[in-house]
Structure 1
């Protein structure tokens, strides 16, 4: 999605399987641990919103966070 819209993926890291700080419920299931990953990318605000919406609807994702870090 990022690449097809002309954005740039700067870095991806898989941080491994880690225990969550607290038990989280999502999609009628309780989650105690999860696979964590980190992806840095540059894309337009619309693409960022589309990625957030897509990941939020994925039942495999427990928590999603998209941070806008604009350069000054």
Structure 2
């Protein structure tokens, strides 16, 4: 079976929903009580689409200004 890897880095201001978007993709549901990240989170998900195995590597970065100097490390 053919395999693909997709690397995603979520960037944006604090509170815009980066973590909620990532968790919805991973778990298939939204959590109304998601807290802001204080650092980057790393998530993975493997799925089969059109007969191909696709593995997603997701970096969910912190949006607070004091952490913005760290975000270039993730892409």
Q: Same fold (TM over 0.5)?
A: no
State the TM-score, normalized to the length of structure 1.
Answer: 0.31
State the TM-score, normalized to the length of structure 2.
Answer: 0.31
More helix by share: 2
More strand by share: 1
